[in-house]
Chains A and B, each alone.
Chain A
Amino acid sequence: MKIFSESHKTVFVVDHCPYMAESCRQHVEFDMLVKNRTQGIIPLAPISKSLWTCSVESSMEYCRIMYDIFPFRKLVNFIVSDSGAHVLNSWTQEDQNLQELMAALATVGPPNPRADPECCSVLHGLVAAVETLCKITEYQHEARTLLMENAERVGNRGRIICITNAKSDSHVRMLEDCVQETIHEHNKLAANSDHLMQIQKCELVLIHTYPVGEDSLVSDRPKKELSPVLTSEVHSVRAGRHLATKLNVLVQQHFDLASTTITNIPMKEEQHANTSANYDVELLHHKDAHVDFLRSGDTHSGGSSREGSFKETVTLKWCTPRTNSIELHYCTGAYRISPVDVNSRPSSCLTNFLLNGRSVLLEQPRKSGSKVISHMLSSHGGEIFLHVLSSSRSILEDPPSISEGCGGRVTDYRITDFGEFMRENRLTPFLDPRYKIDASLEIPLERAKDQLEKHTRYWPMIISQTTIFNMQAVVPLASVIVKESLTEEDVLNCQKTIYNLVDMERKNDPLPISTVGTRGKGPKRDEQYRIMWNELETLVRAHVSNSEKHQRVLECLMACRSKPPEEEERKKRGRKREDREDKAEQAVKEHGPEKPRPDSDRLKGILERGKEDLAEAEVIKDSPDSPEPPNKKPLVEMDEPPHMEKSKGPMSLLSLWSNRINTANSRKHQEFAGRLNSVNNRAELYQHLKEENGEEVGLTGGPRTSIPFLKCSHSPVVNRMETTENGKASRQ
């Protein structure tokens, strides 16, 4: 389908010369007297519309149908012609509605029958029509801007519908010649202009209308090519109803419309509320809604020729909706509709029913007598659409169930939690533009993706993979930590959550640690808490870079959480050598070379460790019987002083004290390297001999980067040897 086909631009040129004030000579009874009040009263004489009134109301009906079905990208420019051309609106989208056109027409009023016919002509309007076709529309402009160097792909075609009362066939030819000449001239002008476009194709539809009962002085002529740019057709139509019917036929041709008649619509009778009668309502819509009938040539589907309409209408049967259940139908197309007879009672009954939010399935009667639901009528935000439902066989018949595929045999997915996650990540329209701090336009959809990224940084998929998400007590923290920024209140709630967990640990409350796949009772209580704290740390760490307040939550967590130090040791030994250089580098980058802060370095380390611990937690869960590592003695950590103020976890008074003293002392002087690297206050000499890479130590001097097995530790020498191997192993 081409966006910029002839139907992108339609110009109406309606003759406003004195002769259009003539009556169409078709009477309308407007004084319908109601029975039992009519005795002795003579109804008022019927009135008749002028040729002008007939022309205007028929063209308004054309526009009504067009705007209903194509509210965008199909534009109308309305021109009235008498002693000059009156252009009633522009191509802008705001001007494209019936109210605007009606108001503009009212200012023009009916033609003045006493005006001088000599100086009035429809030619003024036709010239203006060509001029207006050269003007670029918003859509053309947008497409050209978007296509840049391919801007010439944007077409400029249009249609002029001229309603006039011509004098003869030669008069019609004169009008055609005039249009052709004007196009020629204006295309020359447009060639040298940036805001005008040359007309590539113009369809001239000349409608000669005359009072009923008169003979036509103009003969019909089918579409004929007058030049490569211009085609013309002539319709000679009696005024009144006939003119309206002609324009209805034309709007269907011009915009590829088709007609569907909904049959068997049950409606309550006004007078007798208990009875209902069945009505039919005819709707117009894009013909693609009938694509299945057209393709398969299934014309026996209840098609019937209707008086006055140029095409067949497809009859579909109303299926009274039984439930209001929300279903996702397989719909291959949805097309806006317009009722043919918009104000008739059956039409407005149907449209109001739909506008109130009900959907109706439509059944296609088949020759064989079998029933097939082929369409659905449904409104979305005050617009009614005819949905085409797929009624042919699906190629995805009998697919394997999702439970038979990858991950299909896992039974403890966090379905409910992910449901909650989906609700939190629902979308909503943001119609007003928003701007980022750097004044660039913010795209809401990108914000949605950012949020998904944040919300999924740590999101275990199955229940047995997580402890914290199975704990009600963690919810206040877990629900806010994923946010981009936290309020003071959020931080407070997170802290409360952590204190609460500390309290639980102190009371030795049980934790919902999964025992799936484990033999025996599963991990011990303190092990359970360790797993829980590690997981919580992983969650918080995943968001620590969001804001300074997130950082505060982490600090609180780190200060409060219990850590069996030997666990830390063991991990660190394994990890440290790998990360050392990397981290030292980062620390320098982040805090400047002159002031290396061990803190941030440490945080990174713990993040890593958190992950490892988590991985380990799974290992432990899977094989609870595997022996604990032998080096189980508590270690005093000299290089990682926790935050004193907030420490609430199970820490001995001694360790608190020594930590504090050590921290205080370490600030006062540069620690002697030998003491830093000492074991039981004994420093190993020539340690570089054992290093595979002698550079390491030199590069990473400082308390944090000591060689793992030379840590200040009370562990016996035997253990040291073991961990050396560990250290090496992990380095490989």
Chain B
Amino acid sequence: MDDYDKTCLESALVGVCNIVQQEWGGAIPCQVVLVTDGCLGIGRGSLRHSLATQNQRSESNRFPLPFPFPSKLYVMCMANLEELQSTDSLECLERLIDLNNGEGQIFTIDGPLCLKNVQSMFGKLIDLAYTPFHAVLKCGHLTADVQVFPRPEPFVIDEEIDPIPKVINTDLEIVGFIDIADISSPPVLSRHLVLPIALNKEGDEVGTGITDDNEDENSANQIAGKIPNFCVLLHGSLKVEGMVAIVQLGPEWHGMLYSQADSKKKSNLMMSLFEPGPEPLPWLGKMAQLGPISDAKENPYGEDDNKSPFPLQPKNKRSYAQNVTVWIKPSGLQTDVQKILRNARKLPEKTQTFYKELNRLRKAALAFGFLDLLKGVADMLERECTLLPDTAHPDAAFQLTHAAQQLKLASTGTSEYAAYDHNITPLHTDFSGSSTERM
């Protein structure tokens, strides 16, 4: 039955699921508000039926909860608690919240069903789910009252070690600035608009709660527009300089403020939250270790602003940056042998490269216990020696013989020549003085 003339909460939830994913993807938090009269439908497609068959689904018709995106499910019942409790409706609805990993809440009407009570129920939802997040943005003594939108979500770093969700401070303290090139498109948990707000005399934000008369608000806004605001200054300079401000959101939690252009004319101050922790971005190092450039012996950005202390280099290089030896595929081994051979034929010009490649192969063969390879390459070098043309430099023959001999010694696996840190060095010959290296 695809008719939409009967209560079928599951299809509604599936619909929500698809729409949200198509539109927003799977990463954006979404509040789903389900308005119902508390009746769950009848027969197939009813919520009771859905819940009963919930465990017998295949991957293709999976029950839509939990939603495949961060979500809160709010169920607004147009019925009071007693009515719902008289049947099992409430239980079923509670199951829905449970299925959504407990994310959400059920609202019911207090008292009889009338406009006022419905309004009050939705008022509660607004208070719970749509309260704006107000904060004070600080940069030393420069401050601005701001609203952060959307509300930053609490974050759990490790459910086992630290299961308490972290919430961001209402004091957003700028700790310093970094060039956009240095911060380099960092991964963020979420991003938020930072909107400056005006405070009225009592210290309450203008425009919270029930909206005032529009005209009043406009004139208040116009006055606020003319009062210098730190957010606007910060935004302008971040935009012009191509920088971001690093902002502290809590203990070991940071984020960045930057200018985000929506179009050529419109742009805004945005804040992105990094993952909480002492070192959210490896290329900046530990956040606590970032200090003012004036403490450094010399300006790390250079006198002409032509260098940067970032990115930080890790202690150990990754495999792709350190010329590791991998012989899993025969081609890997063949390439390495070929390199030695190529350089062998250009002795003595390529003496240094020849020995460098030879030693690389030697080390790997010793580590892998692949001593047959050392013997094989030794044989190969000896053969190369016999194949040298008459025009060859006399040093070439000496070096090839020497290298072959050294490999053979290493291939016994027992002598000092088989030590990993031992390197085969070029043989000193009467000719070697003239064999300058041209790498």
Contact = CB atoms under 8 A, between A and B. Distances in A.
Interface of A: 1-4, 28-32, 34, 37, 41, 44, 47-50, 52-53, 56-58, 60-61, 64, 67-68, 71, 97-98, 102-103, 105-111, 143, 147, 153-155, 241, 244, 291-292, 295-296, 326-334, 336, 338-339, 341-344, 347-348, 351, 355, 359, 376, 378, 380-384, 387-388, 390-393, 395-410, 413-416, 418-419, 421-431, 443-445, 447-449, 451-457, 459, 461-462, 465, 483
A575 B296 CA distance: 44
Contacts of B173: 449
Given A28-B333, A415-B240, A445-B290, A461 B268 contact: no
A381 B313 contact: yes
B289 A429 contact: yes
Majority SS at the chain B contact face:
mixed
Contact of A155 (B26, B144, B160, B224): B160
A339 B226 CA distance: 56
Contacts of B318: 67-68, 71, 336, 338, 382-384
Interface stretch (B4-12, B124-132, B185-193, B398-406): B185-193
B58 interface: no
A348 B324 CA distance: 11
Nearest to A457: B141
A332 B188 contact: yes
Interface-centre pick from B68, B224, B268 (highest chain A CB count, 10 A):
B268
Contact of A58 (B228, B290, B328, B337): B328
Nearest to A388: B187
A286 to B, nearest CB: 12
B301 interface: yes
A459 B21 CA distance: 47
A426 B314 contact: no
B249 to A, nearest CB: 13
Contacts of B140: 449, 452-457, 459
A405 B188 contact: no
Given A419-B241, A426-B293, 18 more contacts: A3-B160, A28-B333, A49-B368, A52-B369, A61-B326, A154-B161, A295-B26, A328-B244, A332-B188, A343-B324, A381-B314, A383-B321, A399-B193, A413-B232, A413-B236, A415-B233, A418-B237, A429-B285
B245 interface: yes
17 contacts: A29-B330, A52-B369, A56-B368, A57-B326, A295-B26, A326-B242, A334-B186, A380-B282, A390-B25, A401-B266, A410-B229, A414-B233, A418-B233, A418-B234, A419-B241, A422-B243, A428-B300
Interface-centre pick from B174, B196, B319, B330 (highest chain A CB count, 10 A):
B319
Given A110-B369, A413-B228, A447-B295, A64 B174 contact: no
B326 A64 contact: yes
Contacts of A295: 21, 25-26, 68-69
A396 to B, nearest CB: 6
B107 interface: no
Interface string B220-254: 01101111111111111110111111101000000
A342 B319 contact: yes
B159 interface: yes
Contacts of B314: 71, 381-383
Contacts of A457: 140-141
B183 to A, nearest CB: 7
Interface string B272-287: 1000000001111111
A107 B420 contact: yes
A47 B268 contact: no
Nearest to A392: B25
Contacts of A339: 320
Contact of B380 (A44, A415, A425): A44
B319 A64 contact: yes
Interface of B: 21, 23-28, 68-69, 139-142, 144, 149-150, 158-162, 173-181, 183-188, 191, 193, 195-198, 221-222, 224-238, 240-246, 248, 258, 262, 265-270, 272, 281-296, 300-301, 305, 309-314, 316-321, 324-335, 337-338, 341, 363-364, 366-373, 376-377, 379-380, 383, 387, 413, 418-421
B337 A30 contact: yes
B304 to A, nearest CB: 12
Contacts of A155: 160
B290 A406 contact: no
Contact of B328 (A61, A327, A454): A61
Contacts of B184: 378, 380
A418 B325 CA distance: 52
A105 B241 contact: no
A187 to B, nearest CB: 19
A663 to B, nearest CB: 37
A344 B319 CA distance: 13
B159 A2 contact: yes
Contacts of A351: 320-321
B309 A428 contact: yes
B240 A419 contact: yes
A61 B270 CA distance: 43
B387 to A, nearest CB: 8
B291 A447 contact: yes
A44 B384 CA distance: 12
Nearest to A431: B289
Contacts, number: 422
A461 B363 contact: no
Contact of A328 (B180, B222, B325): B180
A214 B266 CA distance: 71
Contacts of B28: 392, 395
Given A331-B187, A461-B230, A347 B320 contact: yes
A293 to B, nearest CB: 9
A413 B237 CA distance: 9
Contacts of B331: 344
Q: Name the 5 nearest CB pairs between A and B, nearest first.
A: A407-B229, A444-B291, A392-B25, A110-B369, A456-B140
Nearest to A52: B369
Contact of A103 (B149, B266, B367, B369): B367
B320 A384 contact: yes
B233 A413 contact: yes
B3 to A, nearest CB: 27
Interface-centre pick from A154, A326, A333, A347 (highest chain B CB count, 10 A):
A326
A34 B338 CA distance: 9
A574 B288 CA distance: 47
A596 B296 CA distance: 42
B69 to A, nearest CB: 7
B283 A428 contact: no
Nearest to A296: B21
A462 B236 CA distance: 12
Given A416-B240, A445-B291, A401 B268 contact: yes
B236 A110 contact: no
B188 A422 contact: no
A199 B269 CA distance: 50
A454 B139 CA distance: 10
B161 A448 contact: no
B376 A44 contact: yes
B25 A387 contact: no
B185 A423 contact: no
Nearest to B330: A28
B228 A67 contact: no
Contacts of A456: 139-142
Nearest to A98: B324
Contact of B226 (A244, A388, A409, A426): A409
Nearest to A414: B233
A48 B333 CA distance: 12
Contacts of B418: 106, 109
A427 B290 CA distance: 6
B354 to A, nearest CB: 16
Given A30-B337, A292-B25, A339-B320, A103 B377 contact: no
Given A332-B27, A395-B24, A414-B233, A406 B187 contact: no
Nearest to B295: A447
B26 A408 contact: no
